[in-house]
Structure 1
């Protein structure tokens, strides 16, 4: 109720109220209205603030409980409705990834709860004071539009980060190609993703600038081994040797722990003026394709040398010190 009155306030009609008593004693409508407002409005404002604080406190505590559990190796309840793409082979990184993801999503939810609860409480308090909310809401809308245009890149980064978290497109430990940079993810925030490339350089990539993500650490990967051969070699004998060496290698440790399926020899993949390229592929655990490729190359090349199968430019003969025919 607005305390500035030119006519007797409605509270003077209520028998036994302080407002009516003051009006009967003074006959002043403004004073009686002010007394009536002070007798009721502060109490209602206090009740609104207490309820808002309690609702916010309970909601935040609930969100915190839902976000716990990642440090104990369990999936936080806040993540259970969402799909998780982290390979279990990550070990401790899975817990760190879950914890970071749960904390980020929980932080967003708590911010939304605080904004909604305090925003409603603020509007209710203004209504109790007697301020017209129409112009304020209109002004807030204009300011919001202006801020949206001025901070559209920040809003874009934030929304992109939220959806990346919800969809679990990538996380700590994943090897990804995000366009501007390629490397291992070290942290994922709501605005910036941090990754480190093979040279040790740390890249900070804004989430809003990521148009596509190539993740090499989800599900499975394929190790591709290309072996160059000369035109004079027996292709059938060379492919049999490559297949035999690769099969023996993947069946023995340590490669057997990373390989999911037997090697698949695709055959001649490329013919160039320099020679012929034979391609072999192996289905492996996510993120282990590069290690398997290096190990297979290290075994296939010496095996071909022992079998007398020359590379495209000939075989090196240590006795002669030159490249042979």
Structure 2
């Protein structure tokens, strides 16, 4: 190769760039280009494999932890694999470049051989044990995630009636998350201690160090201990489960996750609230076992009360007979009582029992049907407006004031050439016309007031 390049480039002189090219530089450049291409191809290959794996996982997994798992795989692909593969390929490329440039790589190869022999010896003895521990831990974690929820669900369903099926599924899902997390944590701790033992690291000092650190941390972790104790009571007493709608710590929302330390809620706006269990003093569960339709309907005072009650009960029965909404209702919504006599409405309270989480959908449909039925029956639903009454004994003022408009300025101007108009006379005329106009406004109807012009005076005359 060197002879061919020298003949091709015309035997360049030493200490020139062309001579460096013929003396191994060309091969060094080829090695660099090949290394870059190899790294890019390897990166693309691993990325395609990961994307294929993520697609399979996305189709199979149902748990929301899939988002965490997916982001973890992408993080491995993006942050770690590219760097490690680049370092490995670069080291090999540097050794090859060092060799093709005419340098002696035997000492370096001897060092690499010794390192490789030691690493291989360690891998064949301790490495296999550590690798076995890691593989067994991985399979134990996977087994726990799949087996514990199924086992817990089957046990709880076997001890309950068929009517509690949905509630048992909620509770088993909540408890499964806690138990699986505890078992996985225990597996990881045991695996770490076993690996430390294989590395000949004494375990007793490590455990003792944890004990001392635990005492120190315990003084500053009072809130954490309080959260854990509260979480134990929440789960043991079955106060709420994953999937319930609750109000805790002044926040209402859907329970997305519970563990011993915190509860995660998502409200109607989609905001996620993470609430430490120790902050929960009162928990209001709106969807435990069953829910209730609680609706207040107001009508005008002029409406017949018995007729309104009859119509509201009919609408509730029709809703319970509906093919879709009837499956949600336990008892049809009916009028409980005339609830209040408000300032502008007679208010009736409607109650009905339904399945959990269905009360809001049912109340929306019930409002729509009541509005449609009231429109058909000409029953007024009060709304803010004003009605003006002018008195029963007050005779209306129907004169057309527009025909009697008086322009004081014109009258004064017609008389301005006479000697009879004095400043005193002018003020007297203005006062008379103002008094007459004021009396007309006070005893006229609103339409007449709008047609009345204000007195215009011109003091320039």
Normalization by structure 1: what TM-score? 0.60
The 3 A distance-change label for structure 1 pair 202 and 211 is same
Q: Which residue of 1 aligns with 2:277?
A: 207
- How far 1:249 sits from its partner (Å)? 1.7
Question: Which residue is 1:288 aligned to?
Answer: 358
Which blocks of at least 5 consecutive residues in structure 1 are unaligned? 1-53, 120-128, 317-321
Aligned-pair CA distance for 1:198 = 0.8
Do structure 1's residue 107 and structure 2's residue 107 form an aligned pair?
no
Q: Give 1:152 deviation, angstroms.
A: 0.6
More RCO (CA 8 Å, sep 6+): 1
The structure with the largest alpha-carbon Rg is: 2
How many angstroms does 1:65 deviate by? 6.3
- Give the number of aligned pairs: 244
- 3-state secondary structure, aligned to 2:270: coil
Do the aligned partners of residues 196 and 77 (structure 1) sit closer, same or farther apart at CA in structure 2, a change above 3 Å counting? same
The 5-angstrom pairing of residues 111-260 of structure 1 reads 111=185, 144-260=214-330
- 1:139-181 per-residue CA deviation (whole Å, 9 max, x = no partner) reads 9988655432210111112222233334443233211111231
CA contact (8 A) 2:293 2:359 kept: yes
* Alpha-carbon distance between aligned partners in 2 of 1:231 and 1:310, rounded to the nearest angstrom: 9
Structure 2 residues without counterparts, runs of 5 or longer: 1-132, 194-201, 390-461
Greater helix fraction, Structure 1 or Structure 2: 2
SS at match of 2:242: coil
The question of whether the paired residues in 2 share the 8 Å contact of 1:264 and 1:282 is answered with yes
RMSD: 4.3
Q: 1:251 to 1:208 in 2, by over 3 A?
A: same
Give distance in 1, aligned partners of 2:153 and 2:169: 13
CA contact (8 A) 2:153 2:169 kept: no
Q: 2:231 aligns to what SS in structure 1?
A: helix
* Residue in structure 2 matched with residue 319 of structure 1 by the alignment: none
The reply on whether 1:268 has 2:268 as its aligned counterpart is no
Q: 1:195 to 1:154 in 2, by over 3 A?
A: same
Q: 1:162 to 1:65 in 2, by over 3 A?
A: farther
Provide the C-alpha distance between the structure 2 equivalents of 1:100 and 1:158, rounded to a whole number of angstroms: 15
Q: Which moved further from structure 2: 188-197 or 295-304? A: 188-197
Aligned to 1:245, the other structure's residue is in SS state helix
Distance (Å, rounded) in 2 between the aligned partners of 1:191 and 1:225:
37
CA distance in 2, matches of 1:98, 1:200: 25
- C-alpha contact (below 8 Å) 2:173/2:242 kept by paired residues: no
Flag the 1:68–1:173 CA change in 2: closer, same or farther, 3 A. same
Q: d(CA) in 1 for partners of 2:347 and 2:377? A: 17
Q: CA deviation at 1:67?
A: 6.5
Cα deviation 1:52-95 (Å, max 9, x = unaligned): xx9xx99x96x98677447xxxx6334667799997559xx948
Partner of 1:76: 150
1:178-221 per-position Cα deviation (integer Å, ceiling 9, x unaligned): 12311112222332221111111111111111112111222111
Q: 1:87 to 1:196 in 2, by over 3 A?
A: farther
TM-fit CA distance, 1:309: 1.5
| Deviation (angstroms), 1:105 | 1.7
Q: Is the 8 A contact 1:67 1:78 kept in 2?
A: no
Q: What SS class does the counterpart of residue 77 from structure 1 fall into?
A: helix
Counting strand residues as a fraction of each chain, which structure ranks higher? 1
TM-score of the pair, normalised by structure 2: 0.44
Aligned to 1:300: 370
* Residue in structure 2 matched with residue 4 of structure 1 by the alignment: none
